[in-house]
Amino acid sequence: MYKLCFALICFAFSSSVMAQTNSPGQPEQLPGNGAITIAVSGMDEADGDIYFEEAEREEKNGDLNDALTLFGKAAFEYNNSRKFSRYGASLLRLSNVHFLMEHYTEAEQVILNVALKTYSRIGNRPGQMASYNQLGKIYLAANKLTQSLWFYTQQGILAKQTSNNTSYIDSILGIAQVKIKKKEYSLATKDLNRAESYAKIAKINQFKGQIKAARNTIADRKTLKK
């Protein structure tokens, strides 16, 4: 079922790229049939909302296979209604469910092949940063540390350019996690201190638990090493 949904998503994305020069309601000429009117239906967006809500509920209940299918359906409907930001959000959630199921290749492909391209095409910077972060997380879990570091770094660069302090701190913490996995504890600690400093200046409190947990991990691993 997932393969079918992913194929539909990819097809929908390809179709939207080919048709993006045609505005909703513009006549399209068909051989022998004159002109027909292409109209974007509001029902597609409404259906997408329904599928998205159901997918969130299934994910919360732990029914991840059903969540995959429903997020895929939501993405397809949002693409049909040209709600590309919602389309990308559905793809991010779809990828994250794969991540939770440890389907790292599938999680990667949803972001690389569809979500990131969509966000880049429509110039959605927050979506691009979220995609970079998701790829950093996927590669970290898959122990592909070079790739993980690269994508967390790209998130940080874009966050700096757009003055997005939350995303910038998030990228620093991702980089710290890579260094912890590489056993570069001193460098990781410097990153954690930097993230904490930025968070205090920006008055952002949401990362306190994450920073504390990372420091505890470093302390535990140093103890085990001794």
Nearest Cα neighbor of 69 from 55, 56, 90 is 55
Amino acid (one-letter) located at 86: R
Average pLDDT over residues 177-205: 97
Q: Identify the CA nearest to 44 among candidates 82, 71, 15.
A: 82
Higher pLDDT, 6 or 74: 74
pLDDT of residue 21: 36
Residue 174 or residue 13, greater confidence: 174
Whether 223 has a pLDDT exceeding 60, the answer reads yes
Please write the tens of the pLDDT for every residue from 69-113.
Answer: 999 999 999 999 999 999 999 999 999 999 999 999 999 999 999
User: Residue 42: its pLDDT value, please?
Assistant: 58
User: Cα–Cα distance between 40 and 157 in angstroms, integer?
Assistant: 36
Q: Which value, in Å, is the radius of gyration of the alpha carbons in the chain? A: 20
CATH T-level assignment (fold) for domain 124-226? 1.25.40
E-strand stretches of 131-171? none
The domain ranges of the chain are 1-7+40-120, 124-226
Q: How far apart are CA 45 and CA 66, in angstroms?
A: 20
Q: Which two tokens stand for residue 67?
A: 């969540």
pTM of the model: 0.82
Residues 31-64: tens digit of each pLDDT: 333 332 233 445 778 999 999 999 999 999 999 9
Burial class (CB in 10 A: 0-12, 13-18, 19+), 119: buried
The 3-state DSSP class for residue 36 equals: strand
